[in-house]
Amino acid sequence: MTGRIRPPAMVREHSPDRWRRGTCWLWCGRDDLPVQWLGTVEHGPLRVPLTACRECTHLLTERVHATAPASTSPPENA
């Protein structure tokens, strides 16, 4: 045993830097388009990957920036 923590298989399969064809689980719900893994949704004993298309990922980013207080935003030159 190396002591290294390995992410769950679901995370390894859906690496955040990889776009694959799938279903957008955010607002548009479209199928068979490039989606990116954003995380895992858990509901009771169920765990499924949360994936989103470019448009919905962009909308989510805009909402986060619009909602987050200025003190939590990264510096502009970061």
The answer to whether the CB of 12 falls within 8 A of the CB of 41 is no
What pLDDT does 1 receive? 46
Beta strands in 1-78 (DSSP E): 19-22, 33-43, 46-53
Q: Is residue 1 part of a domain?
A: no
In a domain, 75, yes or no: no
Domain membership of residue 3 (yes or no) is no
Residue 2 lies in a domain: no
Give the global pTM.
Answer: 0.65
In the chain, the number of structural domains is 1
Q: What is the pLDDT of residues 7-63, one digit of tens each?
A: 555 455 555 568 899 999 999 999 999 999 998 999 999 999 999 999 999 999 999
Domain of 27, in residue numbers: 10-66
Any domain includes 72: no
β-bridge mates for residue 42, sequence order: 47
Q: What tokens does 1 get?
A: 């045993």
Is residue 18 domain-resident?
Answer: yes
Under DSSP, is residue 64 helix (H, G, I), strand (E, B) or coil?
Answer: helix
